[in-house]
A and B are shown apart, each in its own frame.
Chain A
């Protein structure tokens, strides 16, 4: 049932796709973490317009498919004259989409830090921004890490969307191998193993972190 020659003959091709998938995931994670944290802070600031922006972004993006976000970059932008290559479109789409989920995770983390902490920091003379950055966020990080890890796993899985817009990721190369060799079953099994190589360690790390944090509480 398993045709191992697929793996040995096309190892380089798999590896190229694996590298691109990992690269796109890391870039999108960094982007979505920055944007997501910003949005989370927006949502809990006392400034109303910022709250609206944060809430609107999160509610809107969370309720539309990733594919649609990616198409906005891939088809929408060129229709008004801005052309980015498929890899960039896919990675940007992933970052914009995942940011909405990260914003929620970070917000929950911040809200879990007792209010007294913020009040104490403010009354000892720190500005809102400084109190957030130096007192609240560092405590929130601990709570945020397991859900963030989960989002990263989702991000890696979702990065397969690049294959739809020819983004040279693992899935794209798996398609190419399958249509070159006509061996579909084994080709996708091996592609799946490459994905597991990325996601399983993170999955276990999340479980481990959750158990550890639970013990400390």
Chain B
């Protein structure tokens, strides 16, 4: 039996693995896709101490190699469930089952979808969730961003340097994102803000050709012709598979304080899927350190 299983190989999970190995505990990291998590989409990290500039993928590779070098084991299998069995936890993947004394949930979050018909089908055919990844395809084209938080504002700013015209569609009459970003955006001549409105339909002909936008206040419907639609309406935690084991808040985040203890003894949580006020690389890695340290304490108490 293993000491610790970490679910998720993002910055939080891999840091947990480093701390577990430094405490001489055996650790297996299970990951559905590839190491790195959400941060691999970031072309340039400028706010993590030590390096002024590093790409998210290079950062992840360094952390992965560090954890591997310390003896952490990685397997690329999707976790489908966890159950408790006689003082241990059985973590099930599609093909295998692994046993450990303690589990750290570091599953992160995924892009929130609008939930519109054909959204999935048009992803990559005009619909995108990553302006920095796909913005280059829309040079001198017409695009729209949906959302009102910081990501939406930053995406709209970024795209306004590339695209001919940028619509920003927001369901409220003011932004939740930072004032400075909002102010900079208002100054851009090629940005049009569509307030109090929801995207209610995706129009397509093999690829996205436009959107239908409905004004929430007066109910008016408008069609906007587009080449690209960037969806930035937040993220949702990936905790659905563990809802029967640990308490989640109404938004689906695992309820735990700074000590990363969940409602289930022996299960800890680290990173973006935990209830917290600041979701950043540095707070994710901090959680990883804390969760592993607490998991080791728990194992020592058995």
A binds B: no
Residue positions of B touching A, CB distance < 8 A? none
Residue positions of A touching B, CB distance < 8 A? none
